[in-house]
Amino acid sequence: MARNRDAFIILIIVVAGIFLFGVASIIIVVSGASSSMDLAPIGNKIALVEINGVIEESNDVVRQIKKYQDDNSIKALVLRIESPGGGVAASQEIYEQLLRFRDKDKAIVVSMGSIAASGGYYIACAADTILANPGTVTGSIGVILSYLVYKNLMDKVGLELQVIKSGELKDVGNPARQLTPRERAMLQSVIDDTYDQFVGVVAERRSMDIDDVKKLADGAIFTGNQALNNGLVDKLGTLEDAISLAGEMANLGKHPRVVKERKFRRSLLDELLGFVGLNQSLMDHLRPWPSIEYRFSL
């Protein structure tokens, strides 16, 4: 009797251990920050990297580009952009990493989705060839700085913010008061310099005269058709067209094998809202600090 009881206890322990191991494995796969896998056939191939939504940071995209840059079996890269742009530094970091990828004598083809504007277009300029759909929204070459000012609200409720600072410009963008003329001039100079960087990249990479770029760089958006006529993109085509072109450029034919990371983790908030844009839009309007961006925004 005792022997049967001991065997039963051991069985329960083994089953429990297997169950816990399975649960732990699922948690690691679903929630791991770097949980991804490559859908990678053997042999030479091209890589597909996606940029979706507002560009807040560059780490994940830069990591993928570097990985494929160092992989000798990857002969070209297709970058799918579905973004209105975003942070200046993040856009520039992705752009610079793409240039390093090209330094390895590997071709880059950009495929624009429904929108590839401002910082999204800045990044696209690193490509050898840019494809857009006829109805793609692109362009929006320019810089924007925005933040909330709640001075009038504070006056109504009788609140006042006291600030002790080391210099006149130290709290520029303080939402509790209006800008001074000197602060506005300083911020405008920062905007102008960042704008010149954008225009310079477009002129260099698109082989355009800088004055011609400036005629287009007033923040205006263009359809894919208009962008083609203005020299901002090279061809009209779909993602499949971009993959075929990259395959031909890499001497792999029109139907190359493609590697792409499969992401397992999606934020719970994204699942509840059904899309990323609502949460991001809300945060943008509530953000109390100034933010300089290469971004198209309605």
What pLDDT, in 10s, does the model give residues 93-104? 999 999 999 999
Residue 208, pLDDT > 90, answer yes
First-to-last alpha carbon distance for the chain, in angstroms, is: 77
* pLDDT, average across residues 28-48: 60
- Nearest partner of 58 among 30, 91, 102, 12, judged by Cα: 91
139-166 pLDDT, tens per residue?
A: 999 999 988 888 888 888 888 888 898 9
> What's the pLDDT score for residue 161?
84
Higher pLDDT, 5 or 82: 82
Confidence bin at 63 (pLDDT 50/70/90): very high
Residue 276, pLDDT > 50, answer no
Q: How far apart are CA 115 and CA 54, in angstroms?
A: 11
> What's the pLDDT score for residue 277?
46
Is the pTM value of this prediction over 0.85?
Answer: no
Class of domain 37-295: alpha beta
Confidence bin at 235 (pLDDT 50/70/90): very high
> What's the pLDDT score for residue 209?
97
H helix or E strand, kind and range, residue 117: strand 107-117
Token duo for residue 129:
């060839």
* pLDDT, average across residues 264-273: 51
Q: What is the mean pLDDT of the chain?
A: 84
* pLDDT, average across residues 115-127: 98
| Residues marked as catalytic | 118, 170
Which distant-in-sequence residues (6+ apart) come within 8 Å of 255 by Cβ? 244, 247
